[in-house]
Amino acid sequence: MTRLMADAVRRLADLPEDRQNEIARMLIDAADAELSGEPQLTEQQLTEVDQALAEDGPYVSADEMEAFFARYRR
């Protein structure tokens, strides 16, 4: 464990137990995602994605997207 991680754990020990557990779950999720190489979404995030996909809204064409990204490519 790095010094930075050890320092973070020491600081987290001063938090209330429910916050410690919440942050521990976030760290575990981040570590699992990093190790698997695939992004992991929470149920809430998946719900938000589904809601966003279900919304009718202004969409851009593939050509418009390409033009947008072309401005930032080198």
The per-residue pLDDT for range 39-51, each reduced to its tens digit, is 778 889 999 989 9
**Average pLDDT in the 60-66 region?**
89
φ and ψ of 7, to 5 deg: -65, -40
User: pLDDT category, 27, cuts 50, 70, 90?
Assistant: very high
pLDDT at residue 40, rounded to an integer: 72
Residue 52 above 90 pLDDT? no
Residues 6+ apart with CB under 8 A from 33: 39, 40
Could you identify the residue written with the tokens 């575990």? 28
DSSP-derived 3-state class of residue 56: coil
Distance CA 31, CA 57 (A): 35
Residue 14 above 90 pLDDT? yes
> Which span out of 11-15, 28-32, 48-52 was modeled with the highest average pLDDT?
11-15
